[in-house]
Amino acid sequence: MKKFLPLFLPLLVILPAYISCGSGDDPASPDDPRSFTISYGYLFLNKDKSFDLSVKDYPAGATLEWTSSNESIVSVKDGKVTAHKKEGEALVSVTVKGSSLYNAQCIVRVVPEDWLTIGCGAIHMVDVEGGTFMMGEDKRQRENPDPQMQANIVHEVTLSSYRMSDSEITLGLWESVMNPDTPKNAFIGENAYYPVTNKTYKEITAFINQLNVLTGRNFRLPTEAQWEYAARGGNATNDYLYSGSDLLFQVGVYYDNADLTDFYRINLLYPNELGIYDLSGGVNELCSDYYGEYPSVSVTDPIGPKEGTSRVVRGGSYISSAEECTVFHRTYMPEDQGAQTLGFRLVE
pLDDT tens-digit profile of 214-258?
999 999 999 999 999 999 999 999 999 999 999 999 999 999 988
**17 vs 92, 104, 181, CA distance in Å?**
10, 9, 22
pLDDT at 162 over 80: yes
pLDDT of residue 292: 93
CATH 2.60.40.1080 region(s) of the chain?
1-112
Percent of the chain clearing pLDDT 90 (strictly above): 69
Q: What is the sign of the dihedral through the CA atoms of 248, 6, 171 and 173?
A: negative
What are the backbone angles phi and psi of residue 164, rounded to the nearest 5°?
-130, 145
pLDDT of residue 51: 96
Q: Which residue has the higher pLDDT, 289 or 20?
A: 289
CATH 3.90.1580.10 region(s) of the chain?
121-343
Q: Which residue has the higher pLDDT, 234 or 32?
A: 234
Query: How high does pLDDT run on average in the chain?
Result: 86
pLDDT of residue 180: 85
| Mean pLDDT, residues 7-12 taken together | 32
pLDDT at 207 over 70: yes
pLDDT tens-digit profile of 79-137?
999 999 999 999 999 998 877 777 889 999 999 999 999 999 999 999 999 999 999 98
Return the closest-CA partner of residue 227 out of 320, 145, 125, 344: 344
Domain 1-112: CATH architecture, name and number where available: Sandwich (2.60)
Instruction: Enter the pTM of the model.
Output: 0.86
pLDDT bracket for residue 27 (50, 70, 90): very low
The whole-angstrom separation of Cα 267 and Cα 252 is 9
Fold held by 121-343? paralog of FGE (formylglycine-generating enzyme) (3.90.1580)
The whole-angstrom separation of Cα 83 and Cα 15 is 17
pLDDT of residue 16: 30
